[in-house]
Amino acid sequence: MTSAGSRRGTASWDESDVRIRPNKKGSRPRTKDRPAHEDAVTGRIITVDRGRYTAVVDEDTNAERVVIAARARELRRSPVVAGDLVALVGDVSGEPDTLARLVRIQERRTLLRRSADDTDPVERAVVANADQLVIVVAAANPEPRTGFIDRALVAAYDAGIQPLLCVTKADLKDPSDLLANYEHLDLLIITSQTASTPDAVETTSATGASALLAPGAVEQLKELLDGRVSVLLGHSGVGKSTLVNALTGANRATGGVNAVTGRGRHTSSSAYALKGADSAPGTWIIDTPGIRSFGLAHVEADRILAAFPDLAPGTEDCERGCRHDAAAVNCGLDGWVASGAAGESGPVRLSSLRRLLGAGVEPSQGAKELGMQ
């Protein structure tokens, strides 16, 4: 029995008298100090699928290989997309059933972004580190949409990416009327068509479908894409994956056009980077899922206007604070277009600009991967 003299009153306790037993089920406290991962290897993300990141490491060397990785916990809120350069640790052998860990994303040179629609404040990362955006539309079947082309141009200029316009199926319909809308722009335009000549380029998809393309357009595209990272963007059914197969020697699935709706069928579920066939080192061609919408809610109004260089000079006569949209009073763009300074396509271009300006919302700081949960 403890004597009264040996007991201490609570008034004499101090914090050193308190002992806390460790919780066997608990975890060690987190720290902000992260390992440097100096042994990490650099990989280029070629596709993302359900939380697994496929990367190429030791690119353009005899040791080049494909590595599958999982994202580190501290990067869970950071979008990782095709084209990203990342740091990988752990098992980077690329052997079957191995899994590396993605611990760092290198600073991006460019980032192509979109929102689901013009009312969605959340921007989504599409492709990183691209040099060029190849906007693919069909001359017919499905019919081309100038609104989509204009949106893609805005996204390209906003990202600092060089845009190219590729019109497929030119054998079905003369694309001259479509191209007249862009004659005032410094925009590279390539037309492609199917062919039956002996020198036609044959492509075969994973589904067994084949197509013959005129060699001139394929060779011209190869020359423009050589040594660069290029992303192909277009609606389903325009022949985008057929072009990818011709440029890379791959057999990506291709889809036709629904006879009832006139719309293409989706054949790509996620962006996928492929090396160009017989091309210089660093040539990557990124095939993206066929899209139905390309929102620009993340792009500010002045950036949208900058994508219309044929109209922008007309704003010099605008009053201060002019929004240049359909409700604007005494907007200098009206006089600019009426004078013919923007060419015959001026009215159509102005209408497209004002649709984009009228649909935008304030940009958000958040980002989310395209096609990822």
**DSSP assignment, residue 253?**
-
List the domains of the chain with CATH numbers: 41-105 (2.40.50.140), 111-287 (3.40.50.300), 301-359 (no CATH)
Q: What is the mean pLDDT of the chain?
A: 82
CA–CA gap between residue 268 and residue 48 (Å, rounded): 12
In DSSP terms, 68 is beta-bridged to 54
pLDDT single digits (tens) 63-109: 999 999 999 999 988 899 999 999 999 999 999 999 999 999 999 99
**Which segment, 218-222, 269-273, 287-291, 359-363, is predicted with the most confidence on average?**
218-222
Quick check: helix, strand or coil at residue 259? coil
From 48-52, 135-139, 293-297, 310-314, the region with the lowest mean pLDDT: 293-297
Sequence letter at residue 85: L
CA angle 168, 170, 175 (to 5 degrees): 100
Residues 6+ apart with CB under 8 A from 366: 121, 122, 123
Q: How high is the pLDDT of residue 275? A: 94
Separation in Å, CA 79 to CA 73, 83, 112, 114, 366: 12, 12, 12, 13, 10
Instruction: Give the 3-state secondary structure of 36-100.
Output: CCCCCEEEEEEEEECCEEEEEECCCCCCCEEEEEEECHHHCCCCCCCCCEEEEEECCCCCCCCCE
Peptide bond into 363 cis (omega under 30): no
CA–CA gap between residue 365 and residue 297 (Å, rounded): 12
pLDDT(4) > 80 = no
**14 CB-side CA count, 13 A:** 1
CA–CA gap between residue 133 and residue 155 (Å, rounded): 9
Give yes or no for a contact between 81 and 126, defined as CB atoms under 8 angstroms apart.
yes
From 120-124, 208-212, 280-284, the region with the lowest mean pLDDT: 208-212
